[in-house]
Amino acid sequence: MNPSLTVGIVGATGAVGQELVRLMHERNFPFTTLRLFASARSAGRTIEHSGKKYVVEEAKPGVFAGVDLAFFAAGGSVTRALAGDAVKAGCLVIDKSSALRQEPDIPLVIPEINPEKLRAHKGIIANPNCSTAVMLMGLWPLHQLFGVKRVIISTYQSVSGTGAEAVRELEDQVQAHVAKQPLVKKVYPYQIAFNCIPHIDTFDDTGYTGEETKMAMESRKIMGLPGLKVSATTVRVPVVRAHSISVCAEFERSVDVEKARAAVAAFPGAELVDDPANKKYPTPVDFAEKVKCGVGRIRKDTAFENGLSFWVSGDNLWKGAALNAVQNAELMIRENLLKPQQG
């Protein structure tokens, strides 16, 4: 354990940044000093947690001297502008954005799946996309048992994945509906209250969105399966917090539902909630602010020869972002991996 550890959070005033501050305290993360960084307009703001007050500093080149570990939660442009400066200052960067996830020399890590990749870092660790991380809490234990070869995914993603402004938009639209007033749209191209929008990120020339492409590319990298076939449809739904994902997976070996349930129940990242006869299955409300992701509705898929269908719900701000980053950092501290390994 490091006797003295200075931790920084870049993007500390955003939704994920605030969750990082919270988790630092609630999980008794072993920092000696915590420094919070954000844009120039937020500099000087005071954030209080657990009786401690922190003054937000401007995130800019030169501020990382003396910082041992920095969580970046401010978007790809900030990562591209500042991560290199932090690494040069001797700081380990754990980045939430998508900017560096597909760089071949930057590990993309979920600690329950590929923790060994943490040893290969050169100063930066990438955190996966929220929907990818939640989905893999159900798929990985089944892959270990049966060997996955094809996956079809539909997501039901909460508005908190877009940010605090989107949460306010959902709340305002619900209130406007009740008051029989016009619903104002600012964040999304369509009304989000009482609606579903099959559009997350931008469309490419194939008709898929960036979010859908991320799920495919990141799953392959994290699982070490470059040939994995993935087709995803990502959908924004009027849920405040926690994403849910429907998965249909085809496997190399014959599947067994009871063995699948046992594998999920034994997996450290998942909680098995699978008793449909008694109306027990995961929901986003039940898995908001929970460390594990809920997995249920495991059944034989009727379209694939060796297939299983299942449902996952998990907190996009925790396992999908802040918690996964913190878990990576906790493991690296225990294994003394904050500095790049020689050789």
Residue 279 above 90 pLDDT? Answer: yes
In the chain, what is the greatest distance between 2 CA atoms, to the nearest angstrom?
Answer: 66
Whether 155 has a binding-site annotation, put simply, is no
| CA 96, chain centre distance (Å) | 8
12, 16, 22, 26 alpha-carbon torsion, rounded to 10°: -140
Give percent above pLDDT 70 in the chain: 99
Confidence tier at 2 by pLDDT (50, 70, 90): very low
Count, residues in the chain? 343
pLDDT tens digits, one per residue of 280-301: 999 999 999 999 999 999 999 9
Whose tokens are 């104002």? That residue is 184
Q: What is the pTM of this model?
A: 0.96
157 is in an annotated binding site: yes
- DSSP-derived letter for residue 340 is P
pLDDT at 1 over 50: no
pLDDT of residue 185: 97
Tell me the catalytic residues.
Answer: 130, 243
Q: What is the pLDDT of residue 236?
A: 98
Residue 343's pLDDT is 53
Do the annotations mark residue 160 as ligand-binding? yes
Q: Domains of the chain, with CATH numbers?
A: 6-128+321-334 (3.40.50.720), 131-316 (3.30.360.10)
Residue 97 phi/psi, 5-degree rounding, is -70, 170
Tally Cβ neighbours within 10 Å of residue 222.
22
What pLDDT, in 10s, does the model give residues 197-207? 999 999 999 99
Coil vs helix vs strand at 247? strand
Q: Is 101 annotated as a binding residue?
A: yes
Three-class DSSP category at 261 = helix
Q: Find out whether 336 is annotated in a ligand binding site.
A: no
Helix (H) or strand (E) run with residue 58 in it? strand 57-58
- 243-251 sheet: strands from edge to edge: 229-233, 148-156, 243-251, 307-314, 293-300, 270-272
Contact 80, 99 (CB under 8 A): yes
**Average pLDDT, integer, range 89-117:** 97
Round to whole Å and give the CA distance between 322 and 12: 11
pLDDT at 83: 98
> How far is 230 from 150, CA to CA, in rounded Å?
6
- Establish whether 16 is an annotated binding residue: yes
Using the predicted structure, report yes or no on whether residue 3 has a pLDDT greater than 90: no
- Gap between the terminal Cα atoms of the chain: 23
Q: Which amino acid is at 40?
A: A
**Ligand-binding site membership of 15 (annotated):** yes
How much is the pLDDT for 342?
63
pLDDT at 341: 78
Neighbouring residues of 116: CB distance < 8 A, sequence distance ≥ 6: none
144 sits in which H/E element: helix 130-146
